[in-house]
């Protein structure tokens, strides 16, 4: 489904659509409140220095609740009805935003008004710390898990892309409106300053969200039985949440990676002003770098899933952290503004992708009863880390200034921003790698090969181990080569030695496989329709997946010898070469279906297609594959031979025109080397009784005689 189609599918889900509208309104209120409250506090005094203190104080107060209440905010989200929690929080924000301009009307002392603005801001931000985990924890319950990533894209783009711009435009519009209606500041009535009108308007947005959530999105409540369950105390739930974060590799890796990314981002923000000076770019360069960083954030959120394709979201998260942190190193080394802008863009892209993948993982893989505390922990940590790194990096760079480095032949001026950015980049890369190792869900699968395959839509699958005692032998070959006869001979010989032997085939080893066999092999006059090549490949893969899971792996696990008539190579030869489908796609499909299970030995019975088809024709009615043209079967034969020549250590290629007894002897000669030492001796005794000889083709002979028209696999 296209990106636009995914968005439409998500927005068709009514509860989520309403929550998204609420989120947009609430986010507008947050951004507008940040701007309006700070401007309102600054407007209460005339002195420019005092205005700066008032403005900065309100901003700083917004960060304090993360330290005071952050650790317990998630307990509220998990303990109480989430819908009611969100409604109460929005009503509190409505009252306290409205109280700020109301205080300016009632109280004449500007110091008291500023103090109340700071207190109200602290309470508002405290309730926001509770509202956000409740909202984040509720989203996964409103829509299918497959839509969660798209939903997060939509909400993050709304929160950090659309509403900040809209809040600025609303603030400007309200100011223009106030001036148009009431004129300049000296003639306006009290309480209608632009910042005060913005606060009144902002308070109404939270009243609207409270009403919408309470009456329109009852599904947010989630667990209906929570009210009647006997729940532990809040302190117990708090300690359970911290224990969950510390002992769960996924959450632990997410927290470490996000903290590393935000620490690096905080250093970039804290040093940006001084860094722009080191590039001789001034305020314009600072503004360009800042805007580029947020542009990259939007690109990462919007286009990240398209870029990485089918890559595991856990691996994507770790890769995003490394990308963001590695790009900070580019900033540390950049000597030109163009390079620095490119680095800032990549920092934003990596941060945006990490933000999206991390939110999706928390929402999709953390249990509902722990989700609120997990979100709250991440929310608290990111704010604290961001605040500390911005503050510390600003102080360090301001104190460090620039230093002259004399190398004798040349003198350089080195800004203290460079080593600090380099340190942040290295720390972030290490954090990303550790996070990836903590949460990797495809251990043993080569990382970069998996990334490249995922971008192409074919991620690698981890190989599933099979028991060391079992032996997996497969017979391959064209039509009429005598595979069934040789499977029977080998099974009888091994059973005579006391081995547990399971004989199987593809397709048709199970009741489900029999139905699939009928679909792919019965001629069109029987089934009533022609199976297209891609549908045929998928049907064979479905049979193979069920065959391996229900027959092959259980038998191997108990130490049996599994002998199968056809396996993966038949798909590569028949669907890849015969049907001319892309062989790498057929190969990936088969590997995915089997979990990477490979046979210990592939016995290829090679025969001229014309001879094999004549043998098959004597058996009676031809199936769909036997009815194909001679050219089709020649392509199949060449593909089998090419596969064998590419991996001769795992293949035994026999001339199928020889007598069946001779072929059976050749197979036993090879199988004896797969057996334990004592059973190998038993097979040797069997072979001494056989007088026939057998012709075994080597890899060199295969490639020497392969016709030039053969299809290479």
Which residue ranges are tagged as binding site for ATP?
477-484
Contact between 476 and 602 (Cβ < 8 Å): yes
Number of Cβ within 10 Å of residue 294's Cβ equals 16
Calculate the CA 622 to chain-centre distance: 47
Query: How far is residue 526 from each of residues 324, 549, 575, 624, measured CA to CA in Å?
Result: 59, 30, 21, 10
Calculate the CA 187 to chain-centre distance: 58
Question: Which residues fall in the annotated binding site?
Answer: 477-484
* Cis bond before residue 258 (omega within 30° of 0): no
Contact between 520 and 534 (Cβ < 8 Å): no
C-alpha span between 301 and 293 (Å, rounded): 13
Extract the tokens encoding 510.
């199970």
**Nearest Cα to 390, choosing from 349, 420, 429?**
420
**Nearest Cα to 271, choosing from 317, 346, 334?**
334
Residues linked to residue 561 through DSSP beta bridges, in sequence order: 471, 501
Number of Cβ within 10 Å of residue 211's Cβ equals 15
Backbone phi and psi for residue 651, each to the nearest 5 degrees, phi listed first: -115, 145
Sign of torsion over alpha carbons 594, 598, 601, 605: positive
Concatenated DSSP letters of 86-137: HHHHHHHHHHHHHHHHHHHHH---HHHHHHHHHHHHHHHHHHHHHHHHHHHH
Extract the tokens encoding 242.
């911290």
Vertex 281 angle, CA 276 and 282, to 5°? 75
């Amino acid at each position: 489904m296209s990106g636009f189609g995914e968005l439409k599918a998500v927005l068709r889900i009514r509860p989520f659509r309403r929550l998204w509208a609420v989120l947009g309104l609430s986010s507008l209120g947050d951004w507008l409140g940040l701007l309006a409250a700070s401007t309102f506090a600054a407007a209460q005094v005339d002195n420019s220095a005092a205005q700066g203190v008032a403005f900065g104080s309100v901003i700083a107060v917004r960060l304090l609740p993360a330290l005071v209440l952050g650790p317990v905010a998630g307990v509220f989200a998990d303990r109480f009805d989430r819908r009611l929690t969100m409604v109460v929080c929005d009503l509190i924000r409505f009252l306290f935003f409205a109280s700020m301009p109301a205080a300016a009307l009632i109280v004449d002392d500007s110091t008291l008004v500023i103090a109340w603005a700071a207190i109200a801001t602290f309470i508002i931000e405290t309730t926001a710390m509770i509202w956000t985990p409740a909202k984040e924890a509720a989203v996964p319950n409103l829509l299918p898990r497959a839509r969660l990533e798209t939903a997060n894209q939509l909400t993050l783009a709304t929160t950090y892309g659309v509403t900040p711009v809209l809040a600025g435009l609303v603030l400007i519009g309200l100011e223009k409106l106030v001036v148009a209606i009431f004129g300049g500041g000296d003639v306006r009535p009290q309480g209608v300053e632009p910042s005060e009108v913005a606060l009144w308007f902002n308070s109404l947005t939270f009243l609207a969200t409270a009403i919408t959530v309470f009456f329109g999105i009852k599904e947010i409540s989630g667990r209906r039985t929570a009210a009647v369950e006997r729940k532990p105390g809040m302190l117990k739930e708090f300690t359970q949440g911290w224990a969950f974060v510390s002992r769960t590799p996924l959450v632990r890796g997410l927290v470490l990676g996000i903290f590393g990314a935000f620490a690096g981002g905080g250093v970039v923000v804290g040093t940006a002003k001084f860094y722009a000076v080191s590039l001789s770019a001034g305020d314009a360069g600072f503004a360009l770098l800042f805007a580029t960083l947020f542009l990259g954030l939007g690109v990462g959120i919007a286009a990240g899933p398209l870029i990485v394709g089918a890559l595991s979201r856990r691996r994507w998260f770790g890769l995003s952290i490394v990308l963001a942190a590695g790009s900070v190193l580019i900033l540390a080394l950049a000597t030109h503004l163009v390079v620095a802008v490119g680095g800032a863009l990549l920092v934003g892209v990596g941060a945006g992708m990490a933000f999206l993948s991390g939110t999706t993982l928390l929402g999709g893989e953390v249990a509902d009863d722990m989700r609120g505390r997990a979100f709250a922990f991440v929310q608290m940590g990111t704010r604290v880390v961001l605040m500390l790194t911005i503050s510390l990096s600003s102080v360090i760079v301001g104190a460090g200034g620039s230093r002259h480095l004399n190398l004798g032949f040349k003198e350089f001026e080195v800004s203290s921003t460079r080593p600090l950015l380099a340190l942040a980049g290295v720390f972030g890369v290490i954090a990303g790698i550790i996070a990836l190792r903590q949460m990797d869900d495809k251990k043993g699968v080569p990382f970069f090969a998996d990334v490249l395959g995922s971008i192409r839509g074919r991620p690698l699958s981890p190989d599933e181990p099979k028991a060391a005692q079992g032996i997996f032998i497969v017979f391959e070959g064209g039509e009429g080569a005598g595979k069934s006869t040789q499977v029977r001979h080998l099974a009888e010989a091994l059973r005579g030695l006391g081995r547990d032997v399971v004989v199987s085939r593809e397709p048709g080893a199970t009741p489900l496989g029999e139905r699939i066999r009928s679909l792919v092999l019965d001629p069109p006059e029987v089934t009533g329709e022609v199976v297209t090549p891609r549908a045929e490949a998928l049907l064979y893969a479905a049979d193979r997946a069920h065959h391996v899971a229900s027959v092959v792996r259980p038998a191997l696990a108990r130490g049996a010898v599994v002998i199968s008539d056809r396996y993966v190579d038949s798909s590569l030869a028949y669907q890849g070469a015969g049907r001319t489908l892309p062989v790498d796609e057929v190969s990936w499909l088969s590997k995915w279906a089997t979990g990477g299970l490979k046979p210990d030995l592939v016995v290829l019975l090679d025969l001229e297609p014309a001879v094999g088809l004549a043998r098959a024709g004597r058996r009676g009615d031809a199936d769909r594959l036997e009815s194909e043209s001679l050219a089709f079967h020649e392509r199949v034969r060449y593909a089998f031979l090419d596969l064998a020549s590419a991996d001769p250590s795992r293949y035994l290629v026999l001339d199928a025109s020889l007598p069946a007894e001779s072929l059976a002897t050749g197979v036993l000669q090879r199988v004896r080397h797969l057996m334990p030492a004592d059973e190998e001796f038993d097979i040797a005794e069997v072979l001494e009784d056989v007088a026939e000889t057998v012709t075994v083709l080597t890899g060199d002979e295969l490639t020497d005689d392969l016709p030039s028209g053969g299809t290479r696999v």
